[in-house]
């Protein structure tokens, strides 16, 4: 065994060295790549969060402005409301409730309408502002747009909106509110006449604080540029990045939704660019050394782990070589005994390692071998039973085919016979009417049989159409009562047919057609096998179930055969005086429908006294 031990040590060392070369180096490489990808993902996520914060503010004030414009255009009449100061003042009073509704629903910081008073002199503005953000809005004093310096940067919302139709402003100080804001405004025209500008604002410093909190790096910066690549915000100390950085970032803004490398002052930087829907850009710039610092530390740690792993493996190789060889020799002797036919041999290994597990598997294998011999005998017995069942099934199928032939041929022969009689010119009108009734009756009988057979096939395959709806139970049972009352009066008028209801004024969520078809099978059987007395249809509910019970005073069956009535193709008829029609699938279909409707079906019967079938459904399904 010494040679085996030496080979085992050498093999383990070779395998470990090979594994480290084949998996260690690629593992380090892929870990490095994954770390780089995670760094890029982190940049994109920070950039995405920053862009989302900005876009949230932009989207909100633009939605406010669009809602304001919709109200304005739906209420303003140029000929009526823009002819003089009095009419415009009346319009402003008329629109105020709708503006307050926008404030109540959308909660902007502000909304405003500034009318163009080039044609109508006066102070014409409507402006609401919530400085404290507590939902309490104050209306600002009105002013004339012509009194403002339209060339001043703070009036960019007016001049640019008139020129381009809509505009977003750079942050500017609004003295009236004592705040620095960013505005969105839209120019409103009616019949090519400038009516004015409307829009909304948000506080720039709140956005600035949010963006400041999102930048976790020591190098680089986070910038927000407008559509003209003008700087709106930067996290760089001193509020202005180096000119070289600014030039590179201005070029990067032309490539949205990307991560790119650049070099600034002999230092590599990564830049993530996110373009906003309004043309503005959010750019995140971080030094490559900082963003990949965790990846470099990971490579060092993995190298240390692989080296220590090799040392530990050498120690383990010597340890295992000592304790593996002895159990292997012992287990080998047990295998030889088993190969010689000793099925009772077992291995007792208590090394508390894989060798003990191997010995346990050997014992399990021997037990499985013994069990296999026993299973062979049991299999022979089962094969005999299955063969008998197969023969029985063939007999039932043959019986079903005979019944099928009878059930199809009988109505077809009647239809053909009465059709020929109707063709006889000597037959009277009354006779023809009688022949037609027989043809219709046999046709309906044939259709019902085909429908039952199709339903049987659908239930067997699990493809029965199931359409749930809410319906009244009493209405469904009343329909069945009327249907079978007609049958009783025509075929067995001497029988009674009564329906009993015990709190069945309820609504079920199920398939009403399948439920009626299920109960119709039970009533068909009851009328078929009852020649005296009558049939009772009972509906009742318990604490947890809803039950439908069909009872009759027919021929009944013995208790030892009640389980057979639901078997397919099986006809359990205990009568020596009469032959009953049927293919033997009626109660089989009934049981299938009950299970499909999440219910149960039970049958109790006494020979010569009658049968009772109970269908039960849970109330909450």
The encoded tokens of residue 43 equal 């940049």
The architecture of the domain spanning 215-291 is 2-Layer Sandwich (3.30)
Asked whether 43 and 291 are in contact (CB, 8 A), the reply is yes
CATH number for the region 346-463 comes to: 1.10.287.130
Query: Which fold, 56-203?
Result: Beta-Lactamase (3.30.450)
The encoded tokens of residue 29 equal 């490489």
Q: Over 90: is that where the pLDDT of 555 sits?
A: no
Q: Over 90: is that where the pLDDT of 105 sits?
A: yes
pLDDT tens digits, residue range 603-614?
Answer: 888 888 889 899
Which part of the chain has CATH 3.30.450.20?
56-203, 215-291
CA 413 to chain centre: 55
pLDDT tens digits, residue range 277-336?
Answer: 888 888 888 877 777 777 777 777 777 877 777 777 777 766 666 656 667 777 777 777
Q: What is the pLDDT of residue 65?
A: 94
- Distance spanning both ends of the chain, measured CA to CA: 70
Which part of the chain has CATH 1.10.287.130?
346-463
Q: How far apart are CA 280 and CA 20, in angstroms?
A: 50
**Which parts of 204-296 are beta strand (E)?**
221-225, 231-234, 258-264, 267-275, 281-287
Kindly state the helix (H) or strand (E) to which residue 202 belongs, with its residue range: strand 193-203
Q: How far apart are CA 247 and CA 579, in angstroms?
A: 102
CB atoms within 10 A of CB 9: 16
By the 10 Å C-beta count (0-12 exposed, 13-18 middle, 19+ buried), 434 is classed as: middle
Q: What is the pLDDT of residue 289?
A: 78
Asked whether 188 and 172 are in contact (CB, 8 A), the reply is no
The architecture of the domain spanning 465-618 is 2-Layer Sandwich (3.30)
Q: What is the pLDDT of residue 574?
A: 47
Kindly state the helix (H) or strand (E) to which residue 174 belongs, with its residue range: strand 172-174
Between 16 and 264, where is the model more confident? 16
Half-sphere exposure of 315 (CA within 13 A, CB side): 5
Phi-psi region of 607 (alpha: psi -120 to 50; beta: other; left: phi over 0): beta
CB atoms within 10 A of CB 237: 8
Percent of the chain with pLDDT over 70: 79
pLDDT tens digits, residue range 144-185?
Answer: 998 888 888 888 899 999 999 999 999 988 887 888 999 999
Q: What is the pLDDT of residue 352?
A: 75
Q: Over 80: is that where the pLDDT of 375 sits?
A: no
Q: How far apart are CA 488 and CA 483, in angstroms?
A: 9
Q: Over 60: is that where the pLDDT of 95 sits?
A: yes
User: Which pLDDT band, with edges at 50, 70 and 90, does 15 fall under?
Assistant: confident
Asked whether 523 and 480 are in contact (CB, 8 A), the reply is yes
Q: What is the pLDDT of residue 151?
A: 86
Helix residue spans in 340-428 (DSSP H): 354-423
Q: Over 60: is that where the pLDDT of 578 sits?
A: no
Instruction: Annotate 27-52 with b (16+ C-beta within 10 A) or e (fewer).
Output: ebeeebeebeeebeebbbebbbbbbe
| Closest alpha carbon to 193 in 79, 92, 87, 88 | 79
Which part of the chain has CATH 3.30.565.10?
465-618
């Amino acid at each position: 065994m010494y040679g085996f031990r030496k080979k085992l040590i050498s093999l383990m060392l070779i395998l470990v060295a090979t594994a480290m070369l084949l998996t260690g180096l690629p593992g380090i490489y892929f870990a490095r790549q994954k770390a780089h990808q995670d760094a890029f993902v982190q940049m994109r996520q920070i950039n995405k969060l920053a862009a989302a914060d900005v876009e949230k503010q932009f989207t909100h004030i633009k939605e406010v402005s669009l809602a304001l414009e919709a109200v304005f255009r739906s209420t303003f009449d140029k000929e009526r409301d823009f002819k003089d100061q009095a009419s415009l003042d009346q319009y402003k009073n008329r629109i105020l409730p709708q503006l307050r509704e926008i404030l109540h629903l959308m909660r902007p910081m502000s909304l405003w309408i500034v009318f163009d008073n080039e044609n109508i002199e006066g102070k014409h503005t409507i402006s609401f502002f919530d400085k404290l953000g507590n939902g309490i809005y104050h209306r600002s004093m009105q002013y004339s747009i012509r009194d403002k310096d339209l060339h001043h940067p703070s009036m960019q919302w007016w001049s640019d909106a008139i020129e381009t139709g809509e505009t977003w402003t750079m942050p500017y100080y609004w003295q009236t509110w004592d705040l620095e804001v960013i505005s969105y405004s839209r120019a409103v025209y009616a019949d090519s006449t400038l009516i004015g500008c409307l829009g909304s604002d948000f506080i720039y410093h709140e956005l600035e604080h949010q963006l400041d909190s999102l930048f976790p790096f020591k190098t680089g910066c986070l910038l927000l540029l407008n559509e003209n690549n003008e700087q709106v915000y930067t996290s760089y100390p001193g509020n202005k990045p180096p000119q070289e950085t600014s030039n590179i970032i201005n070029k990067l803004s032309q490539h949205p939704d990307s991560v790119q490398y650049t070099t600034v002052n002999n230092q590599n930087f990564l830049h993530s660019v996110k373009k906003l829907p309004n043309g503005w850009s959010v750019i995140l710039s971080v030094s490559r050394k900082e963003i990949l610092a965790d990846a470099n530390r990971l490579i060092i740690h993995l190298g240390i782990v692989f080296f220590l792993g090799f040392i530990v493996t050498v120690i383990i190789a010597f340890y295992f070589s000592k304790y593996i060889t002895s159990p292997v020799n012992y287990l080998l002797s047990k295998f030889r005994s088993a190969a010689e036919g000793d099925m009772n041999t077992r291995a007792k290994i208590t090394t508390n390692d894989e060798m003990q597990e191997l010995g346990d598997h050997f014992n399990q294998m021997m037990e499985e071998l013994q069990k296999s011999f026993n299973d062979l005998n049991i299999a022979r017995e089962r094969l005999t039973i299955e063969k008998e069942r197969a023969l029985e099934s063939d007999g039932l199928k043959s019986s079903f085919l005979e019944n099928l032939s009878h059930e199809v041929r009988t109505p077809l022969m009647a239809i053909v016979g009465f059709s020929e009689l109707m063709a006889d010119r000597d037959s009277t009108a009354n006779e023809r009417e009688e022949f037609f009734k027989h043809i219709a009756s046999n046709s309906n009988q044939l259709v019902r049989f085909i429908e039952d057979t199709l339903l049987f096939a659908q239930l067997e395959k699990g493809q029965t159409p199931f359409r749930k709806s809410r319906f009244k139970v009493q209405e469904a049972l009343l329909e069945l009562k009327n249907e079978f009352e007609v049958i009783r009066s025509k075929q067995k008028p001497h029988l009674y047919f009564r329906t009993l209801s015990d709190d069945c004024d309820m609504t079920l969520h199920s398939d009403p057609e399948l439920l009626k078809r299920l109960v119709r099978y039970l009533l068909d059987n009851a009328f078929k096998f009852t020649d005296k007395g009558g049939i009772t249809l009972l509906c009742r509910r318990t604490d947890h179930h809803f039950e439908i019970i069909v009872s009759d005073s027919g021929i009944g069956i013995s208790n030892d055969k009640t389980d057979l009535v639901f078997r397919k193709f099986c006809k359990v008829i205990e009568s020596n005086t009469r032959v009953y029609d049927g293919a033997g699938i009626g109660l089989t279909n009934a049981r299938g429908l009950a299970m499909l409707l999440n219910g149960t079906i039970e049958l109790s019967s006494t020979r010569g006294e009658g049968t009772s079938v109970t269908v039960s459904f849970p109330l909450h399904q």
